[in-house]
């Protein structure tokens, strides 16, 4: 888990990278940018806000042969070893980004390379290098007094409330490719940032496996439980799955299936579904792993626990207490109306 509240920008270098395919060039600043309190505060909000709002999907720098051949890995390793070299190394980072900027869809933009201190990662203070890019320009109004009138001047600039691309490379696990967080607000060049520039791959840690397995379960519920049973059982299955993850520190698949799968006939279906769909989630050979609590909380927030009926009625089931949903909601068939119904038991209506 990351906390950027006390993080300081120790050094910042600004460069501009064009689209190589379009004949646009690269501009490398001779000196680092001189920060003051005002710009530092605004830039920290601009750089860090997306990382506070986004799920923590970690990556690592990689290479087919060895991580030492990853260009960004070589550059940031030099910078971490000698933080005073960050500006010269920032030029290498910007140049490497320029070399990857040759697809017609890639937009030119400003690149910010920051050396960061005081990053709290899993309750440990570490240094980090941030690489950020602004691409999309927006029109905005400026106003000038001209004699007795107020005039509008149209200018272009970047929206400091929305970072286009960014990554944080933490000075931890160097031999494994460091630990990397990345954000990308634009989807027109998906491979450009993660694959071509960073050369990064997903970090298969407990956070990755927890999220991947729960996403897999969610699709199993939709593809198998719902057709075999009904919407209520689909929701209740995910209730039980999430609660199993929430109350355990480690995952063991056979224990999970015995506790969560109320219909034993679905256990072979689950195993077959895992053989078929498991590779998509990188869990085909995974049956034991430590559980990441934050990933469970994130998944719980995203789970849909609502039954939508074609009579424009919604029934919301309680994720925290799935036993209530099972105990106090019954489904039946009305022969006279030729319609399904839900029977809901309660003692009193709660005030909203």
pLDDT tens-place string over residues 200-243: 998 888 989 999 999 999 999 999 998 988 888 888 888 889 98
pLDDT at 122 (0 to 100) = 85
Q: Using alpha carbons only, what angle is made at residue 28 by residues 191 and 185, rounded to the nearest 5 degrees?
A: 30
pLDDT, residue 108, reads 93
Residue 326, pLDDT score = 66
Which DSSP string corresponds to 285-346?
T--EEE--HHHHHHHHHH---EEE-TTS-EEE--SS-HHHHHHHEEEEEETTTTEEEEEE--
Q: What residues does each domain of the chain span? A: 2-203, 207-344
Higher pLDDT, 236 or 352: 236
Half-sphere exposure of 103 (CA within 13 A, CB side): 12
**pLDDT reported for residue 320:** 58
Cut 0.85: pTM above it: no
Residues 6 or more apart in contact with residue 150 via CB below 8 angstroms: 143, 144
**For the chain, how many residues are written?**
352
Q: How far apart are CA 165 and CA 163, in angstroms?
A: 6
What is the distance between the alpha carbons of residues 224 and 232, in angstroms, rounded to a whole number?
Answer: 13
Lowest mean pLDDT among 107-111, 222-226, 265-269, 334-338: 334-338
On whether the CB atoms of residues 177 and 170 are closer than 8 A, the answer is no
pLDDT in tens, 274-329: 999 999 999 999 899 999 888 888 877 777 677 788 888 887 776 556 566 667 77
The mean pLDDT of 167-178, rounded to a whole number, is 95
Q: Is the pLDDT of residue 267 over 90?
A: yes
Summarize pLDDT for 35-64 with one digit per residue, the tens.
Answer: 999 999 999 999 999 998 777 789 999 988
Q: Given this model, what pLDDT does residue 332 score?
A: 83
Residue 111's pLDDT band (boundaries 50, 70, 90)? Answer: very high
User: How far, in whole angstroms, is CA 196 from its chain's centroid?
Assistant: 19
Mean pLDDT of 181-194: 84
């Amino acid at each position: 888990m990351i906390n950027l509240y006390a993080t300081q920008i120790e050094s910042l270098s600004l460069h501009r990278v064009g689209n190589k395919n379009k004949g646009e060039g690269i501009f490398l600043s001779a000196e680092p940018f001189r920060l003051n309190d005002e710009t530092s505060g605004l830039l920290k909000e601009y750089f860090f806000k997306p990382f506070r709002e986004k799920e923590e999907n970690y990556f690592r720098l990689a290479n087919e042969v060895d991580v030492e051949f990853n260009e960004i890995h070589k550059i940031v390793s030099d910078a971490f070893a000698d933080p005073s070299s960050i500006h010269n190394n920032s030029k290498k980072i910007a140049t490497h980004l320029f070399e990857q900027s040759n697809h017609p869809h890639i937009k030119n933009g400003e690149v910010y390379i920051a050396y960061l201190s005081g990053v709290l990662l899993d309750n440990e203070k570490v240094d980090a290098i941030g690489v950020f890019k602004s691409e999309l320009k927006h029109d905005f109004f400026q106003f000038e007094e001209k004699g007795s009138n107020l005039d509008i001047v149209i200018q272009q600039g970047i929206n400091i409330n929305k970072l286009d691309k960014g990554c944080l490379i933490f000075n931890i696990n160097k031999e494994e490719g460091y630990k990397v967080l990345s954000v990308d607000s634009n989807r027109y060049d998906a491979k450009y940032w993660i694959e071509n520039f960073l050369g990064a791959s997903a970090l298969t840690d407990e956070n990755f496996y927890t999220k991947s397995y729960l996403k897999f379960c969610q699709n199993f519920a939709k593809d198998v439980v719902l057709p075999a049973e009904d919407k209520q059982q689909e929701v209740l299955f995910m209730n039980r799955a999430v609660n199993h993850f929430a109350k355990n520190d480690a995952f063991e698949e056979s224990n999970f299936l015995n506790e969560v799968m109320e219909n034993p006939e679905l256990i072979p279906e689950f195993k077959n579904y895992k053989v078929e769909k498991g590779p998509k989630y990188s869990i085909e050979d995974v049956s034991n792993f430590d559980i990441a609590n934050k990933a469970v909380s994130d998944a719980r927030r995203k789970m849909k626990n609502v039954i939508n009926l074609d009579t424009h009625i919604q029934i919301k089931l309680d994720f925290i207490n799935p036993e209530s949903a099972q105990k106090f909601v019954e489904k039946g068939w009305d022969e006279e109306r030729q319609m399904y119904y839900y029977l809901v038991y309660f003692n009193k209506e709660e005030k909203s």
